[in-house]
């Protein structure tokens, strides 16, 4: 039996958690702040007297004392996909047409419409009811662990009562949500920073993102972060609908935005979107649209995903907010491909939560079409509430001495004559040694999602290029030869230089797909790089491939294949690959992925609870042996790997005659 102290501590924890739920989730406090503090202090005192009774899920453990020196990478169990966008009623109706093309014209499709919070996406994993891990979205496949900081957000429960949900196996589950700041809390934070002489934040979203990545959880705890959760995942149980999941999340004690609606038709979805576009200003937090999801989980599984987004969901983006300002200057930027892009330098103006001083003008054709000139008064907006752009010129305010904007005939950085390829609107600098191209290429190479070299940001790269230390990617791996010079740079020193060298050395661990993406081949994004790496296994096979071989890969078209072949036909790029090989970078897929493909081309569906391994471990093993794991059972499924309490997926497999295996069968297959 528990002693008196243990009983008192348990009762206090339950009482405090209940009051936290009332205050932070329901916004309906039942006791005064003083009474709450008394309960909390009593718990602190009891735990100090009985340190062995302190548990990770105690309310006193929300704020850790240790600094986070490094945010570890976390592989998401399922990708945190982005959403496709719609902007009007016709596009929403087209969304439904695409659904019916797959589900059938007679399919009855119902929806859930939820407000699209303008915040930061995170994933929360719970094991046996306790918060085990929190992670950022990252690139959708890999995020960063922020568990210590997430614990400081009072609306995130440290422990939930999974035993009360007998209908579901919630021994392990994941919740996804959006961290944000309310307008009043954000304004208060900025006033406090301004009073202390600190730099103020541009908007609530940026401050939320920056706060989640702070090293000191004590500072994070002082920031007014909040969360709405919107998605529930469990590999151990089969859910029926999104509405049921939202209700389950509320029952478990999570904070769910109340402004969602079950819609029986796309017309009801459209009414919901129109309503909130008009009423968005009445909310205490920023939204930039509505997320529309197919309500049925079975239909979601049948619809599946495309490369970057689910087919069963879309975002309806609200019309962007506008403001008026003046163009002071038009500058031409040179990107890593050599493309010249015009940028308007503006009189600063506050718009949609941030101060805008620059806006993209896209290309010279766009400038001529809108007749944009220096000195013009213009209307600007944030495209998708993110990227500022010039919408129109207010020509009646134009000055008498206004001059048309001309395209430079030479690169503004290196002076090389510009070139316009056939069938393109952009003009290019074709000098591979142009400092602007080199700097932008190096920034891409070192960026997160590519080689992720900590300490090698834009300002450092610009300095090193200007000093002649970096002339190609391979020079990064020779920087250690210049240690003495680097240490002498302003604001550098032994420690900063060593951290940079450590980051460079760590980048050598990046897998082949990341290295391929980092090369900056035109049209080869991270997704395409992964497909190429998986298909060709090593750089030699890819370099020797022709356009037809590359185009034969699923979802890779002629633009990509031509760009890849052109890149590797260059002697300069061949030399670059050889020099990077010599630095120790990985130019082949890990051996386990190319030599033990016993499941090559085979698809697996996992269902039920496993005993000898977790679902993620089983998934990793299947992939390591060349197979793939899919979410729903179909006639194309090769195996259903079933554990205990397997549900509808097992029944469907039996109906379709799909081969069903258990853990013993699986272990035997990989052993043989």
pLDDT digits (tens, 9 = 90+) for 495-506: 899 999 999 999
> Could you list the residue range(s) of the whole structural domain that residue 168 is in?
85-317
The model's pTM is 0.56
- Indicate whether 115 and 250 sit together in one domain: yes
Residue with tokens 């038009």: 330
- Indicate whether 455 and 411 sit together in one domain: no
- Indicate whether 131 and 279 sit together in one domain: yes
Crossing angle, helix 266-279 and helix 89-103, to 10 degrees?
150
pLDDT digits (tens, 9 = 90+) for 14-38: 888 788 777 767 767 787 767 777 7
- pLDDT of 232 above 60: yes
**What integer pLDDT is reported at residue 195 of this predicted model?**
77
Q: Give the CATH number for residue 43.
A: 1.10.287.610
- pLDDT of 596 above 70: no
- pLDDT of 612 above 80: no
- Indicate whether 230 and 353 sit together in one domain: no
Give the sign of the dihedral formed by CA 378, CA 383, CA 385, CA 388: negative
Domain assignment of residue 74, yes or no: no
Buried b (16+ CB within 10 A) or exposed e, 480-510: eeeeeebeeeeeeeeeebeebbebbeebeeb
- pLDDT of 64 above 70: no
Long-range contacts of 541-550 (CB under 8 A, 24+ apart): 542/516, 542/568, 543/568, 543/574, 543/577
- pLDDT of 197 above 90: no
Q: How many CA atoms lie within 13 Å of 62's alpha carbon, on the beta-carbon side?
A: 22
Crossing angle, helix 435-446 and helix 458-466, to 10 degrees?
140
Domain assignment of residue 68, yes or no: no
Domain assignment of residue 427, yes or no: no
Q: 519 - beta bridge partners?
A: none
Residue 322 near residue 310, CB atoms below 8 Å: no
- pLDDT of 313 above 60: yes
Domain count, the chain: 6
The phi, psi pair for 355, rounded to 5°, reads -90, 125
- Indicate whether 411 and 440 sit together in one domain: no
**What integer pLDDT is reported at residue 505 of this predicted model?**
94
Residue 312 near residue 303, CB atoms below 8 Å: yes
- pLDDT of 2 above 70: no
Domain assignment of residue 66, yes or no: no
261: its two tokens? 């609606």
- Indicate whether 342 and 270 sit together in one domain: no
pLDDT digits (tens, 9 = 90+) for 260-296: 999 999 999 999 999 999 898 889 998 989 999 999 9
Name 601's Cβ contacts closer than 8 Å, sequence gap at least 6: 626, 627
CB atoms inside a 10 Å sphere around CB 99: 21
Last residue of one domain, picked from the residues 391, 419, 447:
419
**What integer pLDDT is reported at residue 69 of this predicted model?**
57
Cα–Cα distance between 38 and 563 in angstroms, integer? Answer: 67
**What integer pLDDT is reported at residue 404 of this predicted model?**
94
Span 413-432, average pLDDT: 89
Last residue of one domain, picked from the residues 287, 317, 347:
317
Question: Residue 353 — pLDDT band, cuts 50, 70, 90?
Answer: low
Span 130-140, average pLDDT: 90
Residue 63 near residue 221, CB atoms below 8 Å: yes
Residue 236 near residue 92, CB atoms below 8 Å: no
Torsion of CA 437, 439, 441, 446, to 10 degrees: 180
- Indicate whether 265 and 159 sit together in one domain: yes
Higher-confidence position of 625 and 461: 461
Which of 111-115, 215-219, 452-456 shows the lowest mean pLDDT across its residues? 215-219
Pairing relation of β-strands 287-294 and 172-180?
Answer: unpaired
Q: How many CA atoms lie within 13 Å of 622's alpha carbon, on the beta-carbon side?
A: 23
- pLDDT of 210 above 90: no
Q: Hey, which residues are catalytic here?
A: 116
**What integer pLDDT is reported at residue 652 of this predicted model?**
85
- Indicate whether 346 and 404 sit together in one domain: yes
Question: Residue 68 — pLDDT band, cuts 50, 70, 90?
Answer: low
**What integer pLDDT is reported at residue 528 of this predicted model?**
87
Domain assignment of residue 620, yes or no: yes
Span 204-220, average pLDDT: 84
Task: Give the closest residue to 324 by CA, choosing from 339, 303, 346.
Answer: 346
Question: Residue 592 — pLDDT band, cuts 50, 70, 90?
Answer: very low
Q: Give the CATH number for residue 602.
A: 3.40.50.10190
Long-range contacts of 549-556 (CB under 8 A, 24+ apart): 555/307, 555/531, 556/528, 556/531, 556/532
CB atoms inside a 10 Å sphere around CB 382: 20
Q: What is the DSSP letter of 310?
A: B
Task: Give the closest residue to 60 by CA, choosing from 77, 74, 47.
Answer: 47
Domain assignment of residue 55, yes or no: yes
Q: Give the CATH number for residue 488.
A: 1.10.150.20
Domain assignment of residue 149, yes or no: yes
Task: Give the closest residue to 288 by CA, choosing from 354, 220, 223.
Answer: 354
Last residue of one domain, picked from the residues 419, 445, 469:
419
Cα–Cα distance between 370 and 287 in angstroms, integer? Answer: 30
Selection from 124-128, 182-186, 318-322, 622-626 with the highest mean pLDDT = 124-128
Radius of gyration of the chain (CA): 28
- pLDDT of 309 above 60: yes
**What integer pLDDT is reported at residue 672 of this predicted model?**
66
Strand order across the 313-317 sheet = 85-86, 313-317, 287-294, 111-117, 260-263
- Indicate whether 405 and 485 sit together in one domain: no
- pLDDT of 65 above 60: no
615: its two tokens? 């679902």
**What integer pLDDT is reported at residue 49 of this predicted model?**
80
- pLDDT of 358 above 50: yes
Span 185-204, average pLDDT: 80
Domain assignment of residue 355, yes or no: yes
Q: Mean of the per-residue pLDDT values for the chain? A: 87
Cα–Cα distance between 490 and 484 in angstroms, integer? Answer: 13
Q: Coil, helix or strand for 214?
A: coil
- Indicate whether 550 and 579 sit together in one domain: yes
- Indicate whether 13 and 112 sit together in one domain: no
**What integer pLDDT is reported at residue 307 of this predicted model?**
66
pLDDT digits (tens, 9 = 90+) for 84-104: 889 899 999 999 999 999 999
- Indicate whether 234 and 95 sit together in one domain: yes
**What integer pLDDT is reported at residue 639 of this predicted model?**
92
């Amino acid at each position: 039996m528990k002693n008196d102290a243990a009983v008192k501590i348990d009762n206090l924890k339950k009482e405090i958690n209940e009051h936290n739920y009332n205050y932070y989730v329901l916004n309906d406090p039942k006791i005064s702040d003083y009474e709450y503090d008394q309960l909390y202090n009593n718990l602190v005192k009891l735990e100090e007297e009985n340190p062995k009774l302190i548990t990770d899920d105690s309310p006193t453990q929300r704020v850790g004392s240790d600094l986070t020196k490094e945010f570890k990478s976390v592989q998401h169990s399922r990708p945190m996909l982005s959403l496709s966008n719609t902007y009007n009623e016709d596009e929403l109706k087209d969304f439904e047409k695409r659904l019916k093309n797959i589900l059938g014209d007679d399919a009855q499709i119902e929806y859930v419409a939820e407000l699209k919070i303008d915040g930061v996406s995170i994933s929360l994993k719970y094991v046996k009811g306790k918060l085990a891990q929190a992670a950022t979205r990252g690139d959708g496949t890999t995020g960063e662990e922020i568990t210590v900081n997430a614990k400081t957000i009072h609306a995130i429960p440290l422990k939930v009562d999974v035993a009360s949900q007998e209908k579901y196996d919630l021994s392990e589950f994941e919740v996804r949500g959006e961290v944000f700041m309310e307008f009043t809390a954000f304004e208060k934070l900025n006033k406090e920073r301004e009073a202390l002489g600190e730099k103020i934040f541009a908007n609530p979203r940026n401050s939320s993102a920056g706060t989640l990545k702070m090293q000191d959880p004590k500072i994070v705890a002082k920031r007014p972060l909040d969360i709405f959760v919107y998605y529930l995942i469990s590999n151990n149980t089969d859910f029926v609908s999104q509405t049921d999941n939202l209700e389950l999340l509320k029952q478990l004690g999570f904070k769910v935005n109340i402004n969602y609606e079950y819609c029986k038709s796309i017309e009801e979805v459209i009414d919901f979107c129109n309503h909130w576009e008009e009423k968005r200003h009445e909310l205490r937090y920023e939204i930039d649209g509505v997320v529309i999801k197919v309500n049925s989980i079975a239909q979601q599984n049948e619809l599946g995903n495309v490369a970057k987004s689910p087919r069963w969901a879309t975002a309806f983006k609200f019309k962007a907010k506008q403001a008026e300002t003046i163009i002071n200057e038009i500058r031409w930027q040179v990107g890593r491909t050599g493309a010249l892009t015009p940028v308007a330098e503006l009189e600063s103006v506050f718009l949609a939560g941030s101060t805008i001083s620059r806006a993209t003008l896209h290309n010279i054709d766009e400038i001529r079409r809108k007749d944009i000139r220096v000195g013009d008064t213009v209307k600007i907006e944030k495209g998708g509430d993110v990227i500022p752009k010039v919408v129109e010129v207010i020509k009646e305010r134009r000055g008498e001495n206004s001059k048309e904007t001309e395209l430079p005939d030479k690169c503004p950085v290196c002076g090389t004559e510009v070139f316009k390829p056939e069938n393109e609107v952009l003009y290019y600098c074709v000098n591979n040694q142009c400092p602007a191209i080199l700097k932008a290429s190096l920034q891409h190479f070192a960026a997160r999602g590519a080689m992720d070299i900590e300490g090698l940001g834009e300002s450092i790269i610009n300095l090193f290029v200007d000093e002649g230390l970096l002339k190609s990617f391979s020079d990064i791996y020779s920087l250690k030869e210049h240690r003495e010079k680097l240490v002498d740079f302003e604001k550098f020193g032994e420690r900063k230089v060593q951290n940079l060298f450590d980051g460079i050395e760590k980048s050598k661990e990046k897998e082949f797909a990341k290295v391929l993406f980092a090369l900056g081949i035109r049209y080869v994004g991270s997704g395409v790089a992964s497909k190429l790496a998986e298909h060709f296994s090593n750089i030699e096979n890819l370099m020797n491939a022709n356009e037809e071989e590359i185009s034969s890969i699923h979802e890779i078209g002629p633009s990509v294949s031509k760009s890849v072949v052109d890149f590797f036909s260059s002697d300069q790029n061949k030399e670059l690959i050889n020099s990077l090989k010599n630095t120790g970078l990985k130019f082949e897929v890990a051996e386990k992925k190319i030599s033990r493909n016993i499941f090559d081309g085979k698809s697996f569906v996992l269902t039920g609870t496993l005993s000898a391994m977790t679902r993620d471990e089983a998934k990793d093993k299947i992939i390591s042996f060349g197979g793939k794991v899919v979410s729903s059972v179909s006639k194309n499924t090769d195996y259903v790997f079933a554990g205990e309490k397997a549900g509808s997926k097992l029944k469907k497999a039996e109906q379709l005659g799909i081969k069903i295996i258990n853990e013993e069968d699986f272990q035997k297959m990989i052993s043989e």
